[in-house]
Amino acid sequence: MNNRKWIWIGIGLGSLLCVILPLICLGIGMLSLTGGTSAGRMWEDAVAVVRIEGVIVSGGEPDFPLTTSSNAYSESIIQQLRQAAEDPSVKAIVLRVNSPGGGIVATDEVYTVLSEIEKPIVVSMGEMAASGGYYVSCAARKIVANPVTLTGSIGVISTVPNYEELLDKIGIQILVIKSGPMKDELSPYRQPTEEEIAHWQGITDEAYEQFLGVVAEGRDLDLEEARELADGRVYTGRQALELGLVDQLGNLPDAIDLAADLGGIEGEPRLIEYQQAPSLIEMLLSGISPFPASLSVDDLLGIERRFTVQYLYVSP
């Protein structure tokens, strides 16, 4: 009887934990969305801080991440921006950008939402705000960069792997059955044709012209002035200031002060930091070192299996 009693007690405690832990996670998630300020200041005017850290990709953050990620998910960023825009106590937004850019669609999705927000937006650039990271920054009223921030890289890069010689060496042949001559365009299993390269060059050029338009509009530049700066090179924050790509030099506290001023906040502003609430598994594993993500040959070579067009700075 005693053993059975303790078994039932264990089952009961386990069930209770299954109820309590998600509530704890929810509570922490709510705190993360309302900021870490004291309850006594919760009704004061605030500056919201939204972060874009890592490669900008489409979609939302995974519910149960078991590995570390260096991605900035567009849907999650957009959700945080809309929360800040709809919160009446938020008078201005600081967008902290530390990103080499990413996918052209994900980047433009974030930029579009930023452009629709009527509240003052100030970008604070971290170590890098290049390519797509600069693209989204152009939606801000003001841009603050550290003197040695790497920014710019205004342009588009398209990449496709080619495994033809490797497959020949190991004796593998790929049979392709297709409905039209362009159905397998830029296939990684053979050399691309001139027609394929020309077709995708046109797509890359179209994305580039869109980027130019964003820079020209956001920085109040003539289109040809923007084109002279947009050969793909990166600039330091100090160089970008001289070229008119950023407004002033400084760090996150400087951007917060500037945003507070633009939002009409007197004195030290209350800060609200919008971030993804930790999942239950993250909570349970918080004291354990993150599982390393498995590496493939593609990861080691820095390539993807499919053709990609990106607003992305590729460092040497």
Q: Is 201 exposed, middle or buried (0-12, 13-18, 19+ CB in 10 A)?
A: exposed
Q: How far is the C-alpha of 291 from the C-alpha of 281, rounded, in Å?
A: 12
Q: Are 131 and 98 in contact (CB under 8 A)?
A: no
Q: Among all residues, which ones are annotated catalytic?
A: 131, 183
Residue with tokens 């497959």: 167
Q: What is the pLDDT of residue 152?
A: 97
pLDDT by position in tens, the chain (length 316) = 555 655 555 565 555 555 455 544 544 444 444 444 434 566 789 999 999 999 999 988 776 555 556 889 999 999 999 999 999 999 999 999 999 999 999 999 999 999 999 999 999 999 999 999 999 999 999 999 999 999 999 999 988 888 889 989 999 988 989 999 899 898 889 999 999 999 999 999 999 999 999 999 999 999 999 999 999 999 999 999 999 999 999 999 999 999 999 999 998 899 999 865 555 555 555 555 444 444 444 444 444 445 567 877 776 5
Edge to edge, what strands does the sheet with 101-103 contain? 71-73, 55-57, 101-103, 308-312, 157-159
Quote helix, strand, coil % in the chain, to nearest 5: 45, 20, 35
In angstroms, the CA 133 to CA 312 distance is: 8
Note whether 95 and 67 are within 8 A (CB): no
Token pair, residue 135, equals 């693209």
Instruction: Please report the pLDDT score of residue 5 as a whole number.
Output: 57
Give the span between the Cα atoms of 129 and 122, in whole angstroms. 14
Integer Cα distance of 221 and 212 in angstroms: 10
Interval 266-314: pLDDT, tens: 988 999 998 655 555 555 555 554 444 444 444 444 444 455 678 777 7
Distance from C-alpha of 153 to C-alpha of 226, rounded to nearest angstrom: 12
pLDDT at 86: 96
> What's the rounded Cα separation, in Å, for the pair 63 and 300?
27
Q: Tell me what pLDDT residue 33 has.
A: 45
Instruction: Please report the domains of the chain, with CATH numbers, ordered by start residue.
Output: 35-158+232-312 (3.90.226.10)
Q: What is the pLDDT of residues 42-59, one digit of tens each?
A: 678 999 999 999 999 998
Q: What is the pLDDT of residue 31?
A: 42
- How high is the pLDDT of residue 161? 86
